[in-house]
Chains A and B, each alone.
Chain A
Amino acid sequence: MALSDGASTGSGGAVAWKSDVMAARGKARYAAGRRLQIYGMIAIAFALGFLAVLVGTLVYTGSNAFRQSMVTIEIDFSSAELDRENLMDSNWRNVFRDAVRDDIGELSRSDERDYFSMFTSSAPFLIRDRIMAEPSLLDGRATFMVPLSDPFDQLAKGLVNTDLPESQRRVSDRQIAFYQALERNGAISRPINWGLFFNSDSRFPELAGLAGAISGSFWLLLVCFLISFPAGIAAAIYLEEFAPKNRVTDLIEININNLAAVPSVVFGLLGLAVFLGWFGLPRSAPLVGGMVLALMTLPTIIIVTRAALTSVPSAIREAALGIGASKHEAIFHHILPLSMPSIMTGTIIGLAQALGETAPLLLIGMNAFITSPPAGVFEASTALPTQIYIWADSPERGFVARTSAAILVLLGFLIVMNGIAIFLRQRFERRW
């Protein structure tokens, strides 16, 4: 009993547990334990607080992009100078400018430039496309909703600090006056920004949308699923049920575990060198991206499938074999269907990971600027994460909100996929 601080009573006697010194010691020991508990709470609070700030920031900056400021303009086509024989090549720019000019009256040249800069620069083409779809509009007056250009969209959403000196903002006092005149006329509205989902990429934030990225991601995941799902299940069944225990199968198992830990950018190098360089497959194509993602998803599916197969009780296999089924029949008719819910759950989680994967897609060129959705797996396209990367790199202010909105869309897809996985697990998975 080496308690030197006077807690012991004389030589070899019992400890005076009730003494003040011992009570203080006990207190200190419990206090140390409580400190550890508090540190743990701080650690968890830090992680969860970070998550909250992350999601909060994205929702706060992204929510702006779900609405788009529009101007309603009216065009009288009876007086418009149009080549009615050749609508496609008519001078739509002049039609648009004449119509807008009617609303405001005579302006000096520089004022006119300021005034027109309020509308998105492709407004004439939006009008043309609507007319091409609905030629009957040409017979009289028609109203069109035209997006405001990015600086004015920011102004309409109250994101421009009008107290700053004029030289430090992107809209001049004169332009603000024009905008306020429009607003007084009731021409400005802020409907839901469907263009975010149905437009393709554009250099102008007010027109940029995710249609190309979403369909590109769809093709990517389709290719990834068609390759990794059958191949993963087949490999897992072989390794679990058929493979002899020898060097080759050991090597395969080590390989699978290692592949799961190889950095994703290395898979991108593989795709670039082998699929694009040696085989000459098309650059930026969802086919190549899907193949690379399939190689990354394969280990996940194999590991999940093997776990699912081993969890099926051997009584089922023996019963099947006992009534004369072949080994293949026992597996494909009984064991595999029973383990399918777990396999599907794991596959969906693997695909959700693949959906958010960015680095390998950058290396095979899926960050190109492409203004139409891909029609198939051989066409150049972007994907959701690479679109986020492109927008995050764009200097226009409007792209900050669009990037956050695109991230929210991506997170939405991930939540849906993981939700399906959880539903499958709880609804169909059997515990033996």
Chain B
Amino acid sequence: MAGYLIGLMALAALASAFVGIWRARNKRDAAGGAKSHSRPIYHGLNAAIWTGVPAFVFILLWLLFQNSVIDALVIASFPGSDQLSGPQQDLLVSEIRQVASGNIFKEPSPEVLAAVDHLRSLESLATWAMVALVAALVALGAYFGFRAIEHRFRARHSVERSVTWFMMFSSLVAILTTAGIVASLVYEALQFFARVPVTEFLFGLRWEPQIAIRADQVAGQGAFGMIPVLFGTFVISALAMAVAVPTGILSAVYLTEYAGERFRAVVKPLLEILAGIPTIVYGFFAVLTVAPAVRSLGLAIGIDAAPNSALAAGGVMGVMLIPFISSLSDDAFAAVPRAMRDGSYALGATKGETIRKVLLPAALPGIVGGVLLALSRAVGETMIVVMAAGLIAKLTLNPFDSVTTVTVQIVTLLIGDSEFDNPKTLAAFALGLMLFIITLGLNLIALRTVRKYREKY
């Protein structure tokens, strides 16, 4: 419905643009060749903006708030709803909505059926009200837009002002996004900390979030200490960095210092492909090929490896990060001035010595920055570990054992139907807040390292 409405509104705006242009031409001709301020196209655009934009903004706002308002009205008219708690009301609303959309699992009670009728009537009322109000707004906007068309009217200024407003709003979206992330994470995490003490979350050594949602479920008692989860994250990230850092730096050294022009032109894009492969592909590959290989490797050397070992997930993640570290190290090497290299050769150093003793130290800040950025990616990487790492939080350093990570827990806690009313789902937001803080911190340190220790040549 809203889609058609927006389409019709766009058509109306287009029509008023043409009418506006035609009207502006008539006015210009009527003025008898006197110089006009704006070309007819701007009068048309101005009319179109007046016609379309207020109605469009109105539709967006209406759609955002329609469901919550209707839910509140339905709940308010439900007999005995004022005795229900917030979560129970949410459950009731979702039951009513399920019945209304035809998914009936058990025979609904007459009150629910009455509420469904109420919901349907409210929804059709809302739809008609929206159509009527949008039509009124379009008509009103078009009226003002056309009325403004005068020979001397500065339509171009008006249009340019609107465009500037749109551009300013667009650049605010970045701030709004960050604000939205922080606000949602902090809000839900505070709800979590109202149920589970902060100290337990930050310093607890047990993580068993699978608590009973319904009374008749068999489940754990629930423990929300994030230390083992965080520990698992760093075990896997460390394994990933152990693969990615030497490989990435050495391949950058080879590509910048040893490889010929043609070899570089072929190999560098091939390496970049590794960065373009979606992470879910790596995850599937880890499960399908790498994890069994690690398991048989473990058996061969006499270690009982878990089927979802940290080594498989970390190793594959490391390969994913190779091009990232390689290209950042590449940039760092390229930034070392030619004179330093020449000076080293002039003193009789071999190529290998020049690379190890001159280039690497000079490029080190850039490389360290790149490694920190890669680490922040490893900590936030989700799909590889969701598919290849374990679910049980363990405090272990054994790479053949299975560990879990922050992102795995976030996804497993929130996958499927989630109600925001128990510590299990809210815990995911607390973990998300930690993840956001850790990655933000790593990024800031990385940028600062690059900026502070970059030697000015």
Binding site for B on A (CB under 8 A): 29-30, 32-37, 39-44, 46-48, 50-51, 53-54, 57-58, 61, 230-232, 234-235, 237-239, 242-243, 249, 251-252, 255-256, 258-259, 261-267, 269-270, 272-274, 277-281, 295, 298-299, 302, 326, 328, 332, 352-353, 355-359, 362-363, 365, 367, 376-378, 385, 388-389, 392, 400, 403-404, 407, 410-411, 414, 418
Contact = CB atoms under 8 A, between A and B. Distances in A.
17 contacts: A30-B350, A36-B253, A36-B352, A40-B254, A54-B281, A242-B164, A258-B178, A265-B410, A269-B185, A272-B418, A273-B184, A359-B411, A363-B410, A363-B414, A367-B415, A388-B280, A418-B276
Contacts of B188: 273
A43 B350 contact: no
Tell me which of A37, A266, A400 has the highest count of chain B C-beta atoms within 10 A of its own C-beta. Answer: A266
B173 interface: yes
A232 B381 CA distance: 25
Interface of B: 2-3, 64-65, 67-68, 71, 156, 160, 163-164, 166-175, 177-178, 180-181, 184-185, 187-188, 246-248, 250-251, 253-255, 257-258, 267, 270-271, 273-274, 276-285, 287-289, 319, 322-323, 326, 350-353, 355-356, 373, 376-377, 379-383, 386-387, 407, 410-411, 414-418, 420, 428-429, 432, 435-436, 439-440, 443
Contact of A252 (B174, B276, B417): B174
A146 to B, nearest CB: 30
A411 B177 contact: no
A251 B174 CA distance: 10
Tell me which of B169, B254, B289, B353 has the highest count of chain A C-beta atoms within 10 A of its own C-beta. Answer: B254
Given A43-B251, A57-B288, A356-B279, A263 B380 contact: yes
Contacts of B68: 278-280
A255 B443 contact: no
A33 B350 contact: yes
A234 B410 contact: no
Contacts of B166: 234
Contacts of A34: 352
B160 A266 contact: no
Given A392-B387, A403-B284, A40 B429 contact: no
Contacts of B416: 365
A418 B387 CA distance: 26
Ranked nearest first, the 6 interchain pairs of A and B with the lowest CB-CB distance are A33-B352, A263-B380, A40-B254, A356-B278, A273-B184, A280-B67
A389 B280 contact: yes
Contacts of A46: 247
A362 B352 contact: no
Nearest to A56: B289
Contact of A270 (B180, B246, B284): B180
A258 B443 contact: yes
A265 B407 CA distance: 7
Nearest to B178: A255
Tell me which of A47, A357, A411 has the highest count of chain B C-beta atoms within 10 A of its own C-beta. Answer: A47
B250 A39 contact: yes
Contacts of B185: 266, 269-270, 273
B285 A238 contact: no
B351 A33 contact: yes
A352 B275 CA distance: 12
Contacts of B411: 265, 359, 362-363
B8 to A, nearest CB: 16
A270 B276 contact: no
B251 A40 contact: yes
Nearest to A53: B289
Contact residues of A: prevailing secondary structure = helix
B432 A302 contact: no
A265 B247 contact: no
A428 B322 CA distance: 31
Contacts of A356: 277-281
A239 B170 CA distance: 10
A299 B322 CA distance: 23
B376 A270 contact: no
A262 B428 CA distance: 16
Contact of B386 (A47, A252, A359, A377): A359
Contacts of B156: 326
A112 to B, nearest CB: 35
A202 B440 CA distance: 41
B415 A362 contact: yes
A43 B67 contact: no
A274 B414 CA distance: 15
Contacts of B379: 263
Contact of B160 (A39, A269, A326): A326
Nearest to A241: B167
A388 B319 contact: no
A84 to B, nearest CB: 30
Nearest to B406: A265
Tell me which of A37, A48, A298, A367 has the highest count of chain B C-beta atoms within 10 A of its own C-beta. Answer: A37
A265 B382 contact: yes
B288 A400 contact: yes
Given A33-B350, A277-B420, A280-B68, A388 B171 contact: no
A265 to B, nearest CB: 5
B336 to A, nearest CB: 16
Given A234-B167, A238-B171, A270 B380 contact: no
Contact of A359 (B270, B326, B383): B383
A315 B335 CA distance: 30
Given A242-B164, A242-B167, A273-B187, A44 B175 contact: no
Contacts of A280: 67-68, 71
A42 B247 CA distance: 8
Contacts of A36: 250, 253, 352, 355-356
Given A272-B418, A410-B281, 8 more contacts: A44-B251, A242-B167, A264-B382, A266-B436, A357-B278, A358-B382, A365-B416, A414-B276
Tell me which of A234, A352, A385 has the highest count of chain B C-beta atoms within 10 A of its own C-beta. Answer: A234
